[in-house]
Structure 1
Amino acid sequence: MPDEISPTRTSPVAIVGAGAVGTALARRLVTQGHPVQAVLSRTADSAQALAERVEAPVDSDDVSALPSDVRLVLLCVPDDAIASVAERLATVDHPWADTIVGHTSGAHTAEILSPLADRGAATLSFHPLQTFAPTTPPEAFENILVGVEGKASAVAAGTALAKTIGARPVELTAESKALYHCAAALASNGLVALMAVVEEVFAAADVDAPAVDLVAPLVHQTWQNLKEDSPERSLTGPVARGDRATVESHLDALSDAAPHLVPLYAALSTEMTRTAVRGGHLDSATAEEVLQMLQKPLQSSSNSPDSTGALH
């Protein structure tokens, strides 16, 4: 595909996959003046429902229904379905040499679309750094990060597309994609898991209220601090103060009430210590004392034959 050829704002788009991501993206494209020509999905009903919502003239559960005038195809399907969908699309008689094909997976690179690249398509990974649910509004794309990676011509088109939907594109390499996605998973899914832990610890303390309600003001202010300054300068609490007695009391309390959470507390507190040193909160001698206190539960966890903890 020549580098100078790329879809414009008026070029017809095909959305493959009518789930949460495909629905939100299709709606956002339409509101930004980018017509959706076709919706292709695993089931005819889901394809029709989204097509009606965005006024797409073509809907089908058969990828061979891809209109010949489409020059941008976006695969919004589960990660484990991308390869098989790409293989099926590659069998379709289509001007692939004039078409850009992207997928919205954070974990996979553009290489997973190689059957289409073999047909001449410019391939792209186009990952919106956002969490999506069936009710996610089109505005969810506003000012978010979109990771783009792939062939130069496809990356250029993906960058333009990200800007069209109001997002901020960042160009990635295939080698950096896994670390980029790891960071995103820690920020989103890691936070959810941490809140589940917070809820468990509150329950162990006989505090009968939803954890989200209890800590919402605290988390909100912490987030405001992070928005205004670096993690190093935003860190507060016993570790940042070098308060070894309080850290030890936390470890003792968890050992009694939720021993499977002790290694997690120690690991997170270790990272707090490193952050505190970088931020100038702790001198090296105090930091070393805190770290020595935290190493014992971490070493015990690594030597334990059962590291799964309490699964319930």
Structure 2
Amino acid sequence: MTDNTVTKRPLTLLGLGDMGTALARTWLAAGHPLTVWNRTAAKAEALAAEGAAIAASPAEAVAANGLVVLCLLDDASVGSVLDGIDLTGKDLVDLTTGTPAEGRKRAAWAEARGARFVDGGIMGTPVMIGAPASGAYVFYSGSRALFDTHRAALEVPAGARFVGEDPGHAALHDVALLSGMYGLFAGISHAFALIEGEDIAPKDLAPLLSEWLGAMGFFVAAAADRLTSGDFTTGVVSNLAMQVAASGTLLRTAEEQGVSAELIGPYLELMRRRLAEDPAAHAGEDTAGAITLLKR
């Protein structure tokens, strides 16, 4: 047995959808002994030729190794698949998409059954898994001891970023970044809708839009600084009063172009509400102050 073989930690993977299959193939390619189980057996059998051991049941798969990774449909599926299985001494890594509350509840559930638990949020798509240059990584939170023990194996499919011992923080980071992404997609979608039917090719607007959005990236760090300090006015170059006044142009243009404002309207309304709350106090702020209105 070579030193290389010794260092390859064996593990179990439950769930072989597109993401689970990508994870499995990456671990197998890296030489990790892998036991897999999937509700639809054919997906598991397809990995046998690549070296995977196929378990006939979730219980058999869990019993095979100390490290058990879950990549299932949802949190309810995790509970259903592991129901009645002895988890004593197991290290569970749950890469199933879920909410922060589900992560915390599942951690308590696992610990009550004698297992250590880490929740994960995958920042990437299946095609990015196992491709170092893709930029994919996974947020992990929960048992630091579990993460430290298995970090080398967890870093094989994608980068690993531990974000705290609160089991809900991996999902919270995941959803926060995805929410920012969809907000960006909303603005991009509105921009392309505005030029539809005009003598402006989408491919000509695209580089201009990318350049502009890149230039606006400073807002992320600036907003974090302002939310931390509570100072929304120092160094402002485009104040809230001006931006609220100018927002009418965006809405009128959308109307003229026959485009719904449903993607940008809520944010413009949030700015208006912040200003209306106390015009004297908020007129000189930048738009980061509007974030404070979102917390219920």
TM-score band, normalised by the shorter chain? 0.5 to 0.7
For 2:7 and 2:51, locate their aligned partners in 1 and report how far apart those are by CA, in whole Å.
17
Question: Could you say what secondary structure the match of 2:131 adopts?
Answer: helix
Map 1:1-312; keep pairs closer than 5 Å: 9-31=7-29, 33-52=30-49, 54-56=50-52, 58-60=53-55, 62-66=57-61, 68-79=63-74, 80-87=76-83, 90-91=84-85, 96-106=87-97, 107=99, 108-109=102-103, 111-112=105-106, 114-130=108-124, 132-133=125-126, 135-139=127-131, 143-172=135-164, 173-174=166-167, 176-177=169-170, 179-203=172-196, 206-207=197-198, 213-222=203-212, 225=215, 231=220, 242=242, 247-256=247-256, 257=258, 258-261=260-263, 263-264=265-266, 266-267=268-269, 285=283
**Residues 241 and 284 in structure 2, CA contact (< 8 A), matched pair in contact too:** no
For 2:104 and 2:33, locate their aligned partners in 1 and report how far apart those are by CA, in whole Å.
22
**Residues 12 and 35 in structure 2, CA contact (< 8 A), matched pair in contact too:** yes
**Residues 71 and 94 in structure 2, CA contact (< 8 A), matched pair in contact too:** yes
Q: CA RMSD in A?
A: 4.3
Structure 1, unmatched stretches of 5+, are: 1-7, 274-283, 299-312
**Residues 244 and 268 in structure 2, CA contact (< 8 A), matched pair in contact too:** no
For 2:9 and 2:35, locate their aligned partners in 1 and report how far apart those are by CA, in whole Å.
12
For 1:261 and 1:146, locate their aligned partners in 2 and report how far apart those are by CA, in whole Å.
29
Number of residues of Structure 1 aligned to a counterpart in Structure 2: 261
Report how far residue 168 of structure 1 moved. 3.8
Relative distance call for 1:98 and 1:259 in structure 2 (3 A) is closer
Question: Could you say what secondary structure the match of 1:10 adopts?
Answer: coil
Report how far residue 22 of structure 1 moved. 0.9
**Residues 27 and 34 in structure 2, CA contact (< 8 A), matched pair in contact too:** no
**Residues 75 and 82 in structure 1, CA contact (< 8 A), matched pair in contact too:** yes
Identity score, percent = 19
Q: Deviations over 1:254-310 (max 9, x none)?
A: 245325456235158679x9xxxxxxxxxx75658x99xx9xxx9xxxxxxxxxxxx
Report how far residue 65 of structure 1 moved. 3.1
Structure 2, unmatched stretches of 5+, are: 1-5, 224-236, 276-281
Report how far residue 143 of structure 1 moved. 4.6
Q: So what's the TM-score if we normalise by structure 2? A: 0.67
**Residues 15 and 71 in structure 2, CA contact (< 8 A), matched pair in contact too:** yes
